[in-house]
Chain A
Amino acid sequence: MAAVIPDHLNEHHHGPSGLMRWITTTNHKDIGTMYLLFSFVMFLSGGVMALTIRAELFQPGLQVVVPELFNQLTTMHGLVMVFGAIMPAFVGFANWMLPLMVGASDMAFARMNNWSFWLLPVAAVMLIGSFFVPGGATAAGWTLYPPLSIQMGMGMDLAIFAIHIMGISSIMGAINIVVTILNMRAPGMTLMKMPLFCWTWLITAYLLIAVMPVLAGAVTMILTDRHFGTSFFNAAGGGDPVLFQHIFWFFGHPEVYIMILPAFGIVSQIIPTFARKPLFGYASMVYATASIAILSFIVWAHHMFATGMPKQGQLFFMYATMLIAVPTGVKVFNWIATMWRGSMTFETPMLWSVGFIFVFTLGGFTGLICAIAPVDIQLHDTYYVVAHFHYVLVAGSLFALFAGAYYWLPKWTGHMPNETIGKLHFWCSMVFFNITFFPMHFLGLAGMPRRIPDYALQFADFNAMATVGAFGFGLSQLIFIVVVVKCVRGGEKAAARAWEDADGLEWTVPSPAPHHTFEEAPVFK
């Protein structure tokens, strides 16, 4: 890890060196780097699971893995990507960038910040290690629905404890972010002058604090149902399996916004920079983010239309869900209005951002179609849903993460990322992403259920296509490693303001950012 941050960054650093430096560090930049590295490792692990799934689905019949392992892989792919890759990656961005953006010297609770991070590798070892215990990893789907999850072996218990630990980490991270943003802004930076990334993270942090305990409660109830004779979700003992779904999705729906709101923030930083024009509708962006967050608490049962809820329930959750399209639409319109009559250039971060808007919005439209409760009866638990949430999670969250990484790499490493390789990474990802996931819409419409290791013959062609795309997409991500390694090692020196029209306090400190910044608060005008 030491290779990632060049030594000259450590000039003001007087703590332990070597491995102990990283274990004991309380520096937000070190911790941010560790979060980002950790999430990338988890991204690759989850990716290998996804490719194994796709290899099995390349042709009808069982060739690569047995159904038991297939179910473990789909479950763990989901858990690893959500809790190991996407969420920690955004926390990494928050750690690195929030203090620089608000002009603070570090995160508010520096030592707690260290602990938030170091809990994660422990959780990851438990989660991934569960593949090797008797019975293997949990195979109940990432949603962990009982009674199936109650049937699982000890892999399920490990997953529950891993979720507890990651939840604690997230809650501590979120508290840190809220306190940093609310208390440590530079003089003159009122809330409505903050960069939008700070706003989206502030709101996301509140969502995390609100819903992570709910998930912890839900999985704890599964744990006691499994081992201590309770019957929260066990019908034989008077429990209700659907109760779990209500609790899980009360966490789960805000969770999807936890994974997308910071992405909105990143894109809202990048578009104005490369359009050379201020962000259109800053205030309405803030209000839209807040509306999405509030609405996210009253739409959870749209994941449960097929459970057979009363018509009043279906109507309420359908209307509430459709409403989310309004603030989300406002955001997309604002980005396009920002680009409108700008003076645009398309460096790698901008390519990823424009790609994000285009493909994420496609996922938004399929979301709207899924929100129509009667249509969802046909689409629920089919590949259409798989396509939908990969459009918003991969083309949404992941593309925005890459956009942000290319945008701030100069600040992190002191060198400009290689444009040619970066663009290659973007175009390969974009093309292969669509080859992988676009056919899944057709599979779902034609009736292929999700989470099956083998399928009827009429689905063979699109599955073969998706598998080819998935391997292309997976290999394309290795290009990113090349970019980052090259960028760390050398390349064109980055100025303090690495991009021509970049705005914000983070661009007033040298590139790479020194180990300690803003020891005296800057004045924000």
Chain B
Amino acid sequence: MNLSGRLVLSGSSLIVSGSALAQSRFNFQEPVTSVAEQLYDLHTLMLIICAVIFVAVFGVMFWSVFKHRKSRGAVAANFHESTTVEILWTIVPVFILVGMAWPATKTILYMKDTSSPDITIKATGYQWKWGYDYLQGEGEGIRFVSNLSTPREQIEGSAAKGEHYLLEVDNPVVVPVGKKVRLLTTASDVIHSWWVPAFGVKQDAIPGFIRDTWFRADKEGIYRGSCVELCGKDHGFMPIEVHVVSEQAYAQWVAGQLAGKAALASN
């Protein structure tokens, strides 16, 4: 497509996208965990505070830019300090910051509580795929490797790109809805990072070390994310796909996986 066509298309699709798509192009993805929800609200709050300050401060500046011009006959005043004003605009921001830090602190403490999980899964980053081990809880013993499933032709442009281009894998992670999943991350070669935006979970996977985080998905569905720490050539091609399913479907999936594993072992 030529440049102008591309631009027109961008412009028009921007206008529709706001209302037509559930997935916002302008904001965080729709949260499906309590953590992601808190992050969403926290971000909105910060954005509003910043926007108000921005409008106030630059309202004053642009008022000055338009009114206090030499061409409008403005004569320069000669003041150059005011202890009162200077103390005031040092102290007031401190109070605003305290107001911002308070909810943020509560969220940090909530996010960091990885205790008493229902299921524990270990995600291992490899160049360039993810490996998963179900370590504890229902499904214990399941392990598989998850690769990008987008065909090479789509990337190189010889085939039309699918709906989930670069965000689809062969073996997705499956978790039951409403259960606390503790995720351990590590890596075998370089640092990777496991991110699913809708869960509000981003945790670096560091070789030689194990880090943990958690999520409890409240809504069934398919959620997608990707590696977010530069890890070499195919950093852009190691997505994450998580299927949140009902408890029943999860039990079925576990049974299937374990049966497959048993069949493999007996051969």
Contacts and interface: CB of A to CB of B under 8 A. Distances in A.
Interface string A342-356: 111110000000100
A217 interface: no
Contacts of B6: 58-59, 464
A146 B231 CA distance: 10
Interface stretch (B139-147, B188-196, B249-257): B188-196
A71 B54 contact: no
A397 to B, nearest CB: 20
Nearest to B13: A461
A455 B167 CA distance: 9
B173 to A, nearest CB: 17
Interface stretch (A256-264, A323-331, A425-433, A473-481): A323-331
Interface bracket on A: 35 or more
B206 A330 contact: no
Interface residues of B, number: 103
Given A148-B232, A330-B89, A455-B236, A368 B46 contact: yes
Contacts of B50: 365, 368-369
Interface in B60-105: 60-61, 64-65, 68-71, 74-82, 85-86, 89-90, 93-94, 97, 100-101, 104-105
Given A71-B230, A148-B230, A284-B86, A241 B208 contact: yes
Interface string A293-324: 00000000000001110110011001100110
A343 B27 contact: no
Contacts of B204: 306-308
Contact of B47 (A62, A308, A318, A369): A369
A375 B39 contact: yes
Interface string B211-242: 11100000000000111111111111100000
Nearest to A443: B25
A269 to B, nearest CB: 15
B261 interface: no
A340 B25 contact: no
A347 to B, nearest CB: 11
Contact of B25 (A310, A318, A342, A442): A442
A482 interface: no
Contact of B208 (A236, A275, A315, A368): A236
A344 B197 contact: no
Interface string B16-30: 010001011111110
A235 interface: yes
Contacts of B213: 308
Nearest to A327: B90
B69 A344 contact: yes
A60 interface: yes
Contacts of A9: none
B235 A451 contact: yes
A460 B97 CA distance: 36
Nearest to A235: B208
Nearest to B192: A148
Contacts of A503: none
Nearest to B107: A374
B191 A145 contact: yes
Interface stretch (A26-34, A378-386, A489-497, A507-515): A378-386
Contacts of B26: 442, 445-446
Contact of A342 (B42, B54, B74): B74
B223 to A, nearest CB: 11
Interface in B176-218: 185, 189-191, 193, 195, 197, 200-204, 206-209, 211-213
B89 A329 contact: yes
A458 B23 contact: yes
Contact of B74 (A282, A343, A382, A447): A343
A329 to B, nearest CB: 5
Contacts of A523: none
Contacts of A419: none
Nearest to B71: A345
Contact of B161 (A345, A447, A457): A457
A454 B225 CA distance: 14
Contacts of B195: 381, 449
B236 A452 contact: yes
A445 B27 contact: yes
A81 to B, nearest CB: 17
A241 B166 contact: no
Given A148-B190, A451-B230, A279 B80 contact: yes
Given A61-B156, A458-B23, A240 B209 contact: yes
B3 interface: yes
A453 interface: yes
B266 interface: no
B38 interface: yes
Instruction: Give the residue among A346, A372, A380 with the most B Cβ atoms within 10 A.
Output: A372
Contacts of B65: 339, 344, 354
A206 interface: no
A372 B100 contact: yes
B43 A375 contact: yes
Contacts of B17: 461
Contact of A242 (B13, B74, B206, B233): B206
B193 A464 contact: no
B262 interface: no
A442 B17 CA distance: 13
Nearest to B213: A308
Contacts of B167: 456
Instruction: Give the residue among B26, B46, B74, B208 with the most A Cβ atoms within 10 A.
Output: B208
B14 interface: yes
Interface in A105-154: 139-141, 145-148, 151
Given A361-B54, A454-B155, 11 more contacts: A63-B157, A241-B191, A322-B101, A326-B97, A341-B68, A345-B69, A375-B104, A378-B43, A381-B228, A449-B226, A455-B236
Interface of A: 58-63, 67-68, 71, 139-141, 145-148, 151, 235-236, 239-242, 275-284, 306-308, 310-311, 314-315, 318-319, 322-323, 325-326, 329-330, 332-333, 336-346, 354, 357-358, 361-362, 365, 368-369, 372-375, 377-378, 380-382, 442, 445-447, 449-458, 460-462, 464-465, 468
17 contacts: A62-B157, A67-B236, A71-B233, A146-B190, A147-B190, A148-B191, A235-B207, A318-B101, A319-B101, A330-B86, A338-B80, A346-B69, A373-B108, A378-B43, A445-B26, A457-B165, A461-B25
The 9 closest A-B CB pairs, nearest first, are A235-B208, A452-B236, A308-B211, A343-B76, A381-B228, A341-B77, A461-B10, A276-B76, A311-B112
